[in-house]
Amino acid sequence: MRSEGRLLREIAQTLGVDMGMAALWVRGEVLPILKRMYSEGRTMSEIATATGVPARTLYGWRIELGLPRNRRSVYVTDEIRQRSRAQFSRDPDGRLTAEAARLYVQEEKSTREIGQALGVTATTVSSWLKSAGIEARKVCTVSTRKKLRQANLGSKRWNWKGGITADRVRVRVSLDMKLAREACFKRDDYTCRDCGKRGGKLNAHHIWPFQSYPQLKFEVSNLLTLCKRCHDAFHIAAGGHVHPNIGPFLPPKKKYEVREPRATYEIRMAA
């Protein structure tokens, strides 16, 4: 009956015995098959279909043989992964992933904001970005910095003293000024436009003075990257920080020569 491909249940019913007795009769024949197929990564359901022995019985024989439990990766093939992804994924065609990548890179939205816009969780958005090869941001976006500033503005801040900070100081430390300063440094490759030194302590110099031309205070085109040494020397030669004209420039290494920064001169002449 086994050579005819009959199932264990059919054998037990035909011979009038229980399943346990029929299993003992076929045990010696099935054990080598079980060991071979299970080591190949076949599932118990597949082995049960091939041998005609219930999967529950095969589980017990596997434990008796001391066969280690196969890992899930042995059973899950690439075909199964693709089928599961298409069945359970919220974005089977990749359209939402592309939209999430655009919002994250171009509009600098957070994963929480993207999730709210697309109707998914932030964790799902993070997995989409990771699958698209987009690395997580390591710095805060402008919108995040604005929210943090609003959350710590005025009486919300621990060291607030009733708003005694002067307006000129408040403007210089404002977020708009910080963003303009960062854009100026990035444009000039963090290099002093006069002495050519890169890095170090840099200042964003206003070509047209800050107090005299308030409408240009946040204009990146009105800013010039200078190292602290060149910046201080310029204002000393110009007569102070609030001098209405651009004035002369006194290089720190050549005190006998009076001139203005090369980049400042070029911008002023072009205007």
Does residue 172 sit within a domain? yes
Are 36 and 106 in a shared domain?
Answer: no
More confident site: 198 or 71: 198
Q: Are residues 114 and 177 located together in one domain of the fold?
A: no
Taking residues 252-256, report their average pLDDT: 42
pLDDT at 263 > cutoff 60: no
Domain for residue 98, yes or no?
yes
Q: Residue 219: inside a domain, yes or no?
A: yes
Are 184 and 243 found together in one domain? yes
Would you say residue 5 has pLDDT above 80?
Answer: no
Chain centre to alpha carbon of residue 34: 47
Asked, for residue 178, whether it belongs to a domain, the answer is yes
Q: How far apart, in Å, are the Cα atoms of 163 and each of 2, 147, 160, 170?
A: 93, 20, 7, 10
Asked if the model's pLDDT at residue 4 lies above 70, the reply is no
Average pLDDT of the residues in 74-92? 72
52 and 112 in a common domain? no
Mean pLDDT of the chain: 77
Residues 126, 59: one domain?
no
Q: How confident is the model at residue 75 (pLDDT cuts 50, 70, 90)?
A: low
Q: Domain of 94: which CATH number?
A: 1.10.10
pLDDT tens-digit profile of 14-23? Answer: 766 666 666 6
Q: Is residue 143 part of a domain?
A: no
For residues 99 and 48, membership in a common domain is answered with no
pLDDT band at 50 (very low <50, low <70, confident <90, very high): confident
Sequence-ordered list of residues with C-beta below 8 angstroms from that of 39, at least 6 positions apart, any chain: 67
Work out the widest C-alpha separation in the chain, in whole angstroms: 118
What's the confidence (pLDDT) of residue 259? 46
pLDDT of residue 182: 92
pLDDT computed for residue 99 by the predictor: 93
Q: Are residue 126 and residue 177 in the same domain, yes or no?
A: no
Mean per-residue pLDDT, 161-166 = 82
152 inside domain: no
Parent domain of 32: 8-75
Assess whether pLDDT exceeds 70 at residue 87. Answer: no
- Is the pTM here over 0.95, yes or no? no
Same domain, 49 and 104: no
CA distances from 91 to 2, 11, 127 (A): 49, 49, 11
Q: What per-residue confidence (pLDDT) applies to 81?
A: 75
Backbone angles phi, psi at 145, to 5 degrees: -65, -35
pLDDT band at 79 (very low <50, low <70, confident <90, very high): confident
pLDDT digits (tens, 9 = 90+) for 183-226: 999 999 999 988 888 999 999 988 877 777 788 888 998 888 99
Tell me if 207 sits within 8 A of 264, measured CB to CB: yes
Query: What is the model's pLDDT at position 257?
Result: 42
How many domains are there within the chain? 3
**Percent of the chain with pLDDT strictly greater than 90:** 14
Residue 139 lies in a domain: no
In this structure, are 187 and 228 located in the same domain? yes
Residues 94 and 124 in one domain: yes
Does residue 85 lie within any of the structural domains? no
Task: Rank 35-39, 177-181, 253-257 by mean pLDDT and report only the highest.
Answer: 177-181
**Domain co-membership, 171 together with 237:** yes
Contact status, residue 233 vs residue 260, Cβ threshold 8 Å = no
